Structure 1
Amino acid sequence: MTINVFNADCLEWLRQQPNNSIDSIVTDPPYGLSNTKPAQVADVLAAWVTGDTEAVPATKGGFMGKDWDSFVPPPAVWVECMRVLKPGGHMAVFAGARTQDLMGLSIRLAGFEIRDTLGWIYGSGFPKNMDIGKAIDKRGGNAHLAKEIGKAIQEARESRGLTKGWCDERFCGGTTNWSWFEGRPTGIRPPSIETFKDIVSEWPELGVYAEKVAEAEREVVGKSSHKSGIGNATQGHYTVGGTKAEAYNITAPATPEAQRWDGWGTALKPAIEPIILARKPLDGTVASNVLAHGVGGLNIDACRVPSGEPAPAGRFPANVLLDEHAAKEMDKQSGVLKSGAHKAGQPRNAKSKSSYTLNGITTYEDAGSVGGASRFFPVFKYNAKAPKRERPVIVREDGSKIQHPTVKPEKLMSWLVELITPPGGTVLDPFAGSGTTLQAARNKGFNAIGIEAEKDYIELINQRLNESEK
């Protein structure tokens, strides 16, 4: 068993590798969670279907502001993945809930067959939601005047012959926020109270709008144990940066406009990540392909759902994967259920379609089972991120840290690796991150190759693999 790690651009590295040399691919690539505009997406799709398979939008920043997450990998990457895969080889690719369409299309255009989409369902995600009622009160209930205020700000700037860039430096701390004040294609956002006061101090004619952008004071009506994006204050949760969770005030709408939109937001609680299961086209039939190339099927028995004595082999694996929180909630809703028992050799209705019967006679015994509905699905332990012991961290001499923001649990990756890799096979991860796929492959006795473009993350991979050998 060998584990090889390369610090390289995956597309450049793949182009140097031989055909039909990899048994499976399991990867967690960039999801493309940047603010890519629909027109940019349309331009990229047009480029892809007309032959420019390396095209990506000219955008920056994605999850947690990481530029490497600005867009999904283009078809050129998956073309090379398919070339190095053996005929019939499978690929399991994680995707974002709001960009899985682009990920799937990129994979399809490379020539892969989409065989299924698995859903990894978890219970501890936190919504990145904006409270619309609060947002309205922050503008004194006058958010509908944003265009009027923006026009006045633009006229004040232009009358002085100033550029937006100059205003960014003077009033916005060197950011590019000024363009929001005058209006972008995606909307307009008045300045904060503090910023507006600063502007009015130099451009007094805008003072007439001072009260219209003043934040309406909301009445405190209670306390919450959670603070958005941090955790449970009563349990002492912390952010990555070390900020302690605090209870926050529950407030009531202060203006009629905010009252109208009280309870409205902009996002749902994240609770699922899709996993696209794709396959390189077969060389003939499934039977002839597996005999010729050693791949082409799924290792069903190795990935069955444990079910105890009634069916010692376990239940057939599903395309829904649960964490312990989701499983608990499912069982709470379903209550205790009991599946029917079967005795071998007993006559049944000849029209029965049950897998327990052949020509109207039950074929084997099953004592049935008792429990919640989650017993039919694979269940993995999940935290808001992978457990701390599975998230390597390197502290530099200056005290700064190297961490990866999107680490997946090892048990989940081990299940995926075992599902699509033959015994003794080689697993490729072209976006190795912190090396969870490589660790999973080692756990299951497979060879593995990891490609990672970010040098800092190579250090995390080495730390993970070295510590696992101790």
Structure 2
Amino acid sequence: MTWKMRYAAAPLLPPLEDMSPLPNVELHHGDCLDVLSRLPAESVDAVVTDPPYGLHFDGLDWDAPWKATHRAAEHGVGFQNWVHLWAAECLRVLKPGGHLLAFGGSRTWHRLAAGIEDAGFHVRDSIAWIYATGQVKSNNLTAAIARVDPEAAARYPGLGTTLKPAFEPCVVARKPFKGTVAGNVMAYGVGGLNIDHCRTPGDEGEPDRWPTNVGFDTSSAEMFDRDSAGVSERRDGHPSRSFPVFRYQPKPDNRERVHVRRHTMRLRDDLSPAEQEYVAQELAKAAGEEGEALA
């Protein structure tokens, strides 16, 4: 008998029901499809979301929403159909002309955009967020060949299977508006982009710059400035100032993280069902005690 144990230690944060309400914020805790279904039609100004990318990250089902309805070989279509489900609900609750911004992964971004478009949105643009903290996940093919044929490996030096991730796409879509854009803005308060509040500072004596569809994190902005030294015509030597730069926090502080541990244990086959149940209960009890200690 194999018994799997998975438990989590509570983070050092109050539960949702105990959190003090923030001004002008209404927090709904639940599956987005369940929550969206309870919202009135045409009641939301904008939607910003970072859904699962459908990559089956680390073998976890939360990043494989297609598994409920499709085989692994059909994961692309399954992921697109799943995007269509929640995008259709977003379309329903958005006011006419309301915008949807959805982040995606570079490998499944096309399915994300197609699912959003199939739900009835107009895809208006895509934003490329450039970052320098991506981790390479590549197979060393040269080493793999060397394990089979050391002499052959010399003919294939430096082979890998992937590039280092350095950008994350964000689909910018809009719900169809009623009448003209100007009339829609006056009727519903949405439909346009607040350009002046998103401009980047211009040089002295120059107007602030129009916002771009490319953004940097601080590390990539510094790299861009350094690599452009002597090439840029900008007087301040910081060409990244033409683009929005966002501070990137790659991981939450350890105090804010939920600690999850998994254990797989094999019990003796000669144990009776009652003995197996007793051992399982004791293990679960020990897991709960250790989880509390971790918190």
TM-score by length of 1: 0.46
Task: Could you list the structure 1 runs, at least 4 aligned residues long, displaced by more than 6 angstroms after superposition.
Answer: none
Per-residue CA deviation, residues 235-269 of structure 1 (Å, 9 max, x unaligned), is: xxxxxxxxxxxxxxxxxxxx112112220000000
* Residue matched to 1:118: 127
Q: Does 1:335 align with 2:229?
A: yes
Alpha-carbon distance, 1:326 to partner? 1.6
Q: Does 1:318 align with 2:222?
A: no
- Following the alignment from structure 1 to structure 2, what is the Cα–Cα distance between the partners of residues 401 and 264? 46
Alpha-carbon distance, 1:295 to partner? 0.4
* Residue matched to 1:132: 141
Q: Does 1:289 align with 2:184?
A: yes
- Following the alignment from structure 1 to structure 2, what is the Cα–Cα distance between the partners of residues 397 and 275? 42
1:394 touches 1:401 (CA, 8 Å); kept in 2? no
Q: In structure 2, do the counterparts of structure 1 residues 401 and 316 end up closer, same or farther at CA, with 3 Å as the change threshold?
A: farther
Q: Does 1:379 align with 2:245?
A: yes
- Following the alignment from structure 1 to structure 2, what is the Cα–Cα distance between the partners of residues 17 and 279? 19
Q: In structure 2, do the counterparts of structure 1 residues 129 and 86 end up closer, same or farther at CA, with 3 Å as the change threshold?
A: same
- Pick the aligned partner of 1:272 from 143, 148, 167: 167
**Which letter maps to 1:101?**
H
* Residue matched to 1:431: none
1:116 touches 1:278 (CA, 8 Å); kept in 2? yes
- Following the alignment from structure 1 to structure 2, what is the Cα–Cα distance between the partners of residues 401 and 100? 41
* Residue matched to 2:58: 64
- Following the alignment from structure 2 to structure 1, what is the Cα–Cα distance between the partners of residues 25 and 257? 20
Residues paired across the two proteins, number? 228
- Following the alignment from structure 1 to structure 2, what is the Cα–Cα distance between the partners of residues 2 and 32? 33
Alpha-carbon distance, 1:15 to partner? 2.0
Per-residue CA deviation, residues 267-324 of structure 1 (Å, 9 max, x unaligned), is: 000000000000000111111010000001111111111335434x631110000112
* Residue matched to 1:419: none
1:393 touches 1:401 (CA, 8 Å); kept in 2? no
The structure, 1 or 2, with the larger RCO (C-alpha pairs under 8 Å, 6+ apart) is 2
Q: Does 1:91 align with 2:113?
A: no
Alpha-carbon distance, 1:400 to partner? 8.3
Alpha-carbon distance, 1:390 to partner? 9.6
* Residue matched to 2:24: 2
Q: Does 1:300 align with 2:195?
A: yes
Alpha-carbon distance, 1:8 to partner? 2.5
Q: Does 1:75 align with 2:88?
A: no
- Pick the aligned partner of 1:30 from 36, 49, 52: 52
CA RMSD of aligned residues (A): 2.3
* Residue matched to 1:256: 151
- Following the alignment from structure 1 to structure 2, what is the Cα–Cα distance between the partners of residues 66 and 2? 35
* Residue matched to 2:4: none
Helix, strand or coil: the match of 2:154? helix
- Following the alignment from structure 2 to structure 1, what is the Cα–Cα distance between the partners of residues 27 and 90? 16
- Compare 371-380 and 287-296 and name the one that shifted more: 371-380
- Gap regions ≥5 residues in structure 2: 1-22, 66-78, 260-287
* Residue matched to 2:263: none
Q: How does 1:123-272 map to 2 (within 5 A)?
A: 123-138=132-147, 140-141=148-149, 255-272=150-167
Helix, strand or coil: the match of 1:289? helix
Q: How does 1:356-375 map to 2 (within 5 A)?
A: 369-375=235-241
